[in-house]
Chains A and B, each alone.
Chain A
Amino acid sequence: EADIYQTPRYLVIGTGKKITLECSQTMGHDKMYWYQQDPGMELHLIHYSYGVNSTEKGDLSSESTVSRIRTEHFPLTLESARPSHTSQYLCASSEAGTVRGETQYFGPGTRLLVL
């Protein structure tokens, strides 16, 4: 059973507000990821991290930012939320190394609605 947590699970917020989506894992994984899942279900990688103090942008351009100050914690921040940010955000993690076929472990997701 994966131990990766996301809070809040649901968030409804007004335009212009600053929000932070939390993601924590207790597996000691070095690699962490943020995906955006649109209503059509497709997943897009928006951020990833190799480890502490390492963050990279993913395939889909996003106005969000991330930080990785502790191994277990990978929060995502939107400085000014807009309706176009309405989506589901999924956090995931995997072990370090270059083994083929590594499993990614996903959190339950945060459903964000920006009014």
Chain B
Amino acid sequence: GNSVTQMEGPVTLSEEAFLTINCTYTATGYPSLFWYVQYPGEGLQLLLKATKADDKGSNKGFEATYRKETTSFHLEKGSVQVSDSAVYFCALERDTGFQKLVFGTGTRLLVSP
């Protein structure tokens, strides 16, 4: 079946540290992959996405590359800020006919000054 596995949190970093949040997936075919972010007290919002192998999604200094050979979509940022503190969800698009998303369990990021 389709599933997403992401690293457990919380991830605690100091400001300006390098961030990696691991995400691997299991799916039939080649699904589109997403990172959504949920700030405290808010709904989710799209951070970045990639629709085919070797695509790199990027936004707000975050990047992730669709790696078919390792079935991974790891999220990275070179220098985190306190404002990046949030919960990050990796997701795959299961069914292109109706865009059903399968989400990972979320990884909480805490950035201290």
Contact = CB atoms under 8 A, between A and B. Distances in A.
Interface of A: 2, 4, 6, 31, 40-43, 45, 48, 50, 58-59, 90, 92, 94, 98, 100-109
B89 A48 contact: no
B105 A103 contact: no
Interface string B46-59: 10011100000000
A90 B44 contact: yes
Contact of B32 (A2, A100, A107): A100
Contacts, number: 61
Q: What is the size category of the interface that chain B forms with chain A? A: 20 to 34
A32 to B, nearest CB: 11
Given A42-B105, A101-B93, A31 B99 contact: yes
B106 A108 contact: no
A41 B98 contact: no
Residue of B43, B100, B103 with highest tally of chain A CB at under 10 A:
B43
B14 interface: no
Contacts of A106: 36, 43-45
